[in-house]
Amino acid sequence: MIFLRVLILLLLLVLCPFLIGMLSFRFLPRNRQSVALTFVTGQLLSFALFEVIAVPCMLLNRYDSFVFTYRIYLAGMVFFTAFGARDLILRLRRVGVLQLFPGDHFPEPEALMDPYRDITDYKQRYTKEAILYWVLFFVLLFFQLYMLFTQASFDGDDAYYVTESVLAQQTGTMNRILPYTGISTTLDIRHALSVITMWTAFLAKASGIHAAIVAHTVLPLFFLIFTDLVLMESGRILVRGRQNDLPVFMVFLALLQIFGNNSIYTPETFLMTRTWQGKSVMANAVVALTVYVFLMLLENTIRLQRLTERRRKDKNSKRERYAPFILLTLVNLLAQISTSMGVVLLTGLIMLLSFFFLLYTKKIRSVIPAFLCCLPNVFYILLYLFYRGA
């Protein structure tokens, strides 16, 4: 029985997001089609799907909102997972296993001879020293996972956030029972729109595991690996052409995460001790994803400037233009799920990074799509104000 419950969690947290991520090959350029980014994008799509289902169900249905959310989201996950599996099978038939993820390829001889091909897009073979650094990183990662699993910390906010998940799992309602007293209450819109607690309840109900166990034991492992995958993809851009420096970069970040608990307010403290909370997701995953998107945008812009006019119009070059903004929209939706304050903070961060990007391009149209990506945040704020006033 326990094995079956763990298997269901692995399906929901690993296999389903990965297969859903195969749909991202429709808009990701070839050099971004890696295993890590496929999983990250699939998880972002899963979070976005949950939000567009959970929020309307919660606002329009008073009593059985979580029951409807659970059923619709589960059906949606099955549908998009099957759709992604179909894309995976078709791609395997077309290109084979070795060509499945171009973003993880080593350069082939024809790529080395092509004057228009940037071989820094490809992975390089690591030196023995770099392999040792990778081993060190995985040792540190295993230590972090072990401590998260065996030394789960107690936090005062558990009395609210984890209890909300437990109430949703046991009563079928969403944010209609006060966690502190157990009596019925009006909808607390400030916490209600951040539906990450309901996502935790979904995992708990689907797997049959208590929501407190999912929050304290399962989600810390998941979000740490998720955040490290995002940081690794960012590192691949920062050390482009110096691939052997990537494991050093990851070791440095792992040490920061382990020894960053010099205050209760640091992102590292939230990552290692309050991982299941939306504030931790915002401070670590969302911020890292936003920086990664703008790094991708900058790198794509530099690359497109070097191409001929004809190559700028091909399908892959067009993907390089709009793929970062699709990801940025999904990141905004993740911020909304995480915490209501994150909507304002992320919008400010996007404006700041867009300003620096504008200084580089000197073209106002280059940042207009970034502003449009914030429209979901505007709608979120208007929805908050409407129900706050009501």
pLDDT for 47 beyond 80: yes
If you average pLDDT over residues 16-28, what whole number do you get? 93
Residue 316: predicted pLDDT: 65
Sign of the dihedral through C-alpha 254, 237, 91, 318? positive
Q: pLDDT tens across 64-120, in order?
A: 889 999 999 999 999 999 999 999 999 999 888 777 887 776 555 444 444 445 555
Residue 387: predicted pLDDT: 83
Residue 311: predicted pLDDT: 56
pLDDT band at 337 (very low <50, low <70, confident <90, very high): very high
% of the chain with per-residue pLDDT over 70: 91
| Joined tokens for residue 203 | 């995992």
Compute the distance between CA of residue 76 and CA of residue 343 in angstroms, rounded to an integer.
25
Residue 131: predicted pLDDT: 93
Q: pLDDT tens across 174-188, in order?
A: 988 888 888 887 887
The DSSP H or E segment spanning 233 is helix 219-238
pLDDT band at 204 (very low <50, low <70, confident <90, very high): very high
Q: pLDDT tens across 275-310, in order?
A: 888 889 999 999 999 999 999 999 888 887 776 555
CA angle, 124 then 125 then 126, to 5°: 110
Q: pLDDT tens across 141-152, in order?
A: 999 999 999 887
Compute the distance between CA of residue 276 and CA of residue 217 in angstroms, rounded to an integer.
9
pTM of the model: 0.91
DSSP 182-224: --B----HHHHT-THHHHHHHHHHHHT--HHHIIIIIHHHHHH
Compute the distance between CA of residue 296 and CA of residue 371 in angstroms, rounded to an integer.
17
Of residues 254, 31, 222, the one with CA closest to residue 133: 254
Is 74 or 161 the better-scoring residue by pLDDT? 74
Tokens 């070097």 locate to: 306
If you average pLDDT over residues 5-27, what whole number do you get? 93
Residue 122: predicted pLDDT: 56
Ranking 50-54, 240-244, 358-362 by mean pLDDT, the lowest is: 240-244
User: What SS3 class is residue 307?
Assistant: coil
